[in-house]
Amino acid sequence: DAKTTQPPSMDCAEGRAANLPCNHSTISGNEYVYWYRQIHSQGPQYIIHGLKNNETNEMASLIITEDRKSSTLILPHATLRDTAVYYCIVRVGGSARQLTFGSGTQLTVLP
């Protein structure tokens, strides 16, 4: 699975959009981009995934560049409860393969 690079930490004001970047320059054509988050010591929570098109669900939006070498997770209106470590993971879909967690981005939402 391709390696990802994320900034170690980011701050965001409550109510503003949080934009979390991820670089995955070695991504292969059959690899998906997944985003998970982990609120302190809780189980990682699935947020969203995409292959090449932009995706949106009730939690977030995922913007993938046309060359697929980077992506951005957008939380449109961050709240204090969105403070967590956010992991960008690149992985081939299917076949019961593991998720490889990198160091992620610690997002702190400030009041």
Partner 1 sequence: AAGVIQSPRHLIKEKRETATLKCYPIPRHDTVYWYQQGPGQDPQFLISFYEKMQSDKGSIPDRFSAQQFSDYHSELNMSSLELGDSALYFCASSSQGGVETQYFGPGTRLLVL
Q: Which is nearer to partner 1, 13 or 39 (CB)?
A: 39
Smallest gap from Cβ 62 to partner 1, in A, equals: 13
Smallest gap from Cβ 107 to partner 1, in A, equals: 15
Closest listed residue to residue 73, CA positions, set 84, 88, 89: 88
Q: Which is nearer to partner 1, 9 or 45 (CB)?
A: 45
d(CA 2, CA 63): 18
Binding site for partner 1 (CB under 8 A): 32, 34, 38, 41-46, 49, 87, 93-104
Q: Which is nearer to partner 1, 95 or 111 (CB)?
A: 95
Smallest gap from Cβ 94 to partner 1, in A, equals: 5
Q: Can you tell me which residue has the tokens 């947020």?
A: 47
Q: Where does the chain show beta strands of DSSP type E?
A: 9-13, 18-23, 31-38, 45-50, 55-56, 61-64, 70-75, 84-92, 105-110
